[in-house]
Structure 1
Amino acid sequence: MQQDAIIIGGGFAGLSAAYILARARRHVTIIDSGTPRNRFAAHSHGVLGLDGKSGLEILTDARAQLAAYPTVTFVEGEADAAEGVLDDFHVSVAGHGSIAARRLLLASGVEDRLPDIPGLSERWGKTVLHCPYCHGYEIGGGPIGVLATQPMSAHQAAVVADWGDVTLFTNGMPEPDEETLALLERRNVTLQPGTVSIIETGTCDMLRVRLENGRTFDVKALFVAAELHMRGTIAESLGCALQETPAGKILTTDAVKATSVAGVYAAGDNARAFGNITLVSADGVMAGLGIHQSLMFASHS
């Protein structure tokens, strides 16, 4: 049976879109590998009514609620390939064959690629963090580090300064321009040149940032702007237009989350420069509305 929509990715964006379509009694298949981007964090914060609940727990509850809708089907696995045109898309999933649908939503998110510094990746989501709005309050003030990975890292350090005493580790990045240096000074951010060689465990459960010159600095947390990489190659194979952001490429979408390819939509971290649970969920809602209206007003709907 041809579905109204296939949603690749069962995270916050994909499930939010599925809710809209399910409640419009449209037939939806959600393909999900069970590896959401925020799985490394034990708790989610700043989510209205759900503060402190883990992202995985929120997703589990959402899936259970969606499963009650008779037009929703879940497929566990990775979408290997997708092809087709408006009203006739086909997605291949290992072990499940090919699934047909009239519309396609790309909501598989992104991967965070961290600098290759020993001790960094194993602390990701715990004391190595990406978003002060998500995790800054729990740090409780005190010394905080920001690791420069791109020109916008200086701006990140200026923002993080509301949550503690910030040191910006330039890690080989060029020194900021005069205007940015003035901003860092106003925000009481300390600039620390030198290349970071390793992240270690310091005293009192703090992180120890060790430079190649042997100097060490203990901080309560280290913020890093990871490089974003879209998962898989389906968007590329379909010919969807991309746009550059300071953190990496994302899919280009319009106000209702339609991509440059007719019938293909995108929502969530792969289609916005900055995201959290609330924002990507809203993205999914808009994509669901866009897909439904597209189906509803199609001449042969």
Structure 2
Amino acid sequence: MVSVEVVTVTRQNSNQDDAYEVVVVGGGAAGLSAALVLGRSRRRVLVVDAGEPRNAPAAHMQGYLSRDGMPPAEFLAEGRGELARYGVAIVRDRVTEVARDGAGAFTLSLADGTPVHARRVIVATGLVDELPGLPGLAERWGHDVLHCPYCHGWEVRDEAFGVLASEPFSSHQALLVTQWSKDVTLFLHTVRELPDADWERLAAAGVSVVEGEVAGLEVEDDRLTGVRLADGRVVARSVLFAAARPVPRSGLLAALGADTKDTPYGPYPAIDETGRTSVPGVWAVGNAASAMEQVINAASMGYRAGLTINAELLMEDIDATAHRRRAGAFTAQAEAAVSRAVTGERTHGLPV
């Protein structure tokens, strides 16, 4: 388990230790990226991290420019260090509930009983990979049982690949991995039929097809050596690709009544291009919003959400100040605050 540094933040604008402008639920690439943008925008931000990253089983992450091959735990640790420079608070805990507070903001309950308050909420809780129920598969997950050739294909190139079919779409996965090895075997397992076009493509790509249900894996010296069928046959393989069912951790969004959309992987939150959900003031980013987002894409989603939220809060505060001026409630104290803002001394947070 990766340790999470707890950062204590004191801001001039905060009248409550538990009042934040933005609370980010989840400390993976998406959540940390959003928090970085907001911290650099001088916002008071809290990241609540349960410490359950999706890619924890993987020794390295690939495809992230300038960070290719970096261990995921090291990547997150560096991200937390960057946030500390901008006063972003990070706590190891879990958000159990998010509720509107009646004033357009939110109260979040932490597992340890602590309430925190926020004007905006970013849900970056990721997803859980539900693996096929095959003996020994979970123990090899992220090592020599893999799911994404873009994440791991280069590292196992030219080895003997197996692909475990769990649905007709698995034939596409078998075709895809031929880019990294020409020794590919598709195990039909529980899939009984494939479209004729799939059979034609598999043959053209040189993919061998083995019918019959898979019973387990053969492992020697902590290395996958073969796939064992229910009839006792063992097919030598050193890598097995298997499709997991990605299930978003969307309980908080569901409790808030957020709209969902149907995807090939089941229902996911309905969001716009910035991650905004149907619940005003709530964003969803990273794998909490999409099954297909790899680390670099998840970070990009968090970045866009952070930009959008900062601009929205800024305009909201300016409009509130303008409204009070029109209403004649502009006091000398408030006038002084506006003057400080013009000269770069603005206090950041709720409008004065």
1:56 to 64, 70, 73: 73
Q: Is 1:138–2:147 an aligned residue pair?
A: no
Three-state SS of the structure 2 residue aligned to 1:4 is strand
Q: Is 1:32–2:35 an aligned residue pair?
A: no
Structure 1 residue aligned with 2:228: 210
User: Contact 1:40 / 1:125 at 8 angstroms: preserved in 2?
Assistant: yes
Q: How many residue pairs align between the two structures? A: 300
CA distance in 2, matches of 1:154, 1:146: 8
Query: Aligned partner of 1:294: which letter?
Result: E
CA distance in 1, matches of 2:40, 2:307: 11
Farther-moved stretch of structure 1 (164-173 vs 53-62) = 164-173
Q: Provide, for residues 158-198 of structure 1, a one-character-per-residue CA deviation record: whole Å limited to 9, x for no partner.
A: 11111112111121123221222222222222222211111
Q: Provide, for residues 75-99 of structure 1, a one-character-per-residue CA deviation record: whole Å limited to 9, x for no partner.
A: 2111111111784111110225111
TM-score by length of 1: 0.94
Bigger CA radius of gyration:
2
CA distance in 2, matches of 1:231, 1:257: 15
Structure 2 residue aligned with 1:94: 111
CA distance in 2, matches of 1:107, 1:28: 14
Q: Provide, for residues 108-146 of structure 1, a one-character-per-residue CA deviation record: whole Å limited to 9, x for no partner.
A: 100111011111000111011111011111113131011
Q: Provide, for residues 232-268 of structure 1, a one-character-per-residue CA deviation record: whole Å limited to 9, x for no partner.
A: 6211101112223223332111011101111110000
CA distance in 2, matches of 1:117, 1:49: 36
User: Contact 1:152 / 1:246 at 8 angstroms: preserved in 2?
Assistant: no
Structure 2 residue aligned with 1:74: 90
Greater percentage in strand: 1
Query: Aligned partner of 1:141: which letter?
Result: D
Three-state SS of the structure 2 residue aligned to 1:125 is coil
Change over 3 Å in CA distance of 1:6–1:176 after alignment to 2: same
User: Contact 1:150 / 1:246 at 8 angstroms: preserved in 2?
Assistant: no
Query: Aligned partner of 2:57: which letter?
Result: F
Structure 1 residue aligned with 2:286: 268
Query: Aligned partner of 1:279: which letter?
Result: N
Structure 1 residue aligned with 2:340: none
Query: Aligned partner of 1:74: which letter?
Result: I
Gaps in structure 2 of 5+ consecutive residues = 1-15, 321-350
Farther-moved stretch of structure 1 (85-94 vs 277-286) = 85-94
User: Contact 2:63 / 2:150 at 8 angstroms: preserved in 1?
Assistant: yes
User: Contact 2:246 / 2:291 at 8 angstroms: preserved in 1?
Assistant: no
Over the matched positions of the two proteins, sequence identity in percent amounts to: 38
Per the TM alignment, residue 203 of structure 1 is displaced from its structure 2 partner at its CA by 8.6
Where does 1:217-232 land on structure 2 (aligned, <5 Å)?
217-231=235-249
Per the TM alignment, residue 218 of structure 1 is displaced from its structure 2 partner at its CA by 1.6
Query: Aligned partner of 2:99: which letter?
Result: E
Gaps in structure 1 of 5+ consecutive residues = none
User: Contact 1:87 / 1:103 at 8 angstroms: preserved in 2?
Assistant: no
User: Contact 1:136 / 1:163 at 8 angstroms: preserved in 2?
Assistant: yes
Change over 3 Å in CA distance of 1:253–1:236 after alignment to 2: same
User: Contact 2:36 / 2:82 at 8 angstroms: preserved in 1?
Assistant: no
Per the TM alignment, residue 202 of structure 1 is displaced from its structure 2 partner at its CA by 5.2
